[in-house]
Structures are given as structure tokens and as C-alpha cells.
């Protein structure tokens, strides 16, 4: 039933129709939202925690304090 749906010409026609219906600005927002959703879905399955960049306080040697008396 859907054998020829993903041919390049069919995808182009679907994209043009979506562009006419939603407009270029809204279509970009939809794509961004889909990308973020897929990214968060994938990260939900992985056991890895997202990497954070160390702050200035994290990179100082342990013997130094930030306060001076």
C-alpha cells in the first residue's frame, strides 16, 4: 500500500504541500520541535548523564578558598 511513498519525487511533493499549509516560519518551528523531542527521547533511553562544562570553582585546586580575610 505504501510501497512508493518514500520516493524522492513523492517526498518533494509532500514537502511543498506542507510548506504551503504551514508556511516557512512555522515549518521551521515544527522541525526544531521534532528534533528536540527526538533528542530528549533518545537521551531518556541512555544511561549517560548529559555532560556539563566545569565552572571556574570546579577547576581551582582544593587548597585555595575564594574568600580572603
Q: Answer yes or no: are the C-beta atoms of 22 and 30 closer than 8 Å.
A: yes
Other C-beta atoms within 10 Å of 27: how many? 15
- Of 33, 4, 39, 29, nearest to 14 by C-alpha is 4
CA distance 26 to 47: 34
Angle between helices 8-22 and 24-45 (to 10 degrees): 110
pLDDT single digits (tens) 10-68: 889 988 999 999 898 898 898 899 999 999 998 888 855 555 666 666 566 666 655 55
Q: Whole-prediction pTM value?
A: 0.46
Q: Which cell numbers in the block locate residue 43?
A: 537521551
Amino acid at each position: 500500500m505504501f510501497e512508493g511513498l518514500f520516493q524522492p519525487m513523492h517526498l518533494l511533493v509532500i514537502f511543498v504541500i506542507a510548506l504551503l499549509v504551514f508556511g516557512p516560519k512555522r515549518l521551521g518551528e515544527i522541525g526544531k520541535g521534532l528534533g528536540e523531542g527526538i533528542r530528549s527521547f533518545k537521551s531518556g533511553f541512555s544511561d549517560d548523564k548529559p555532560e556539563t562544562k566545569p565552572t571556574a570553582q570546579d577547576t581551582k585546586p582544593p587548597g585555595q578558598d575564594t574568600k580572603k580575610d
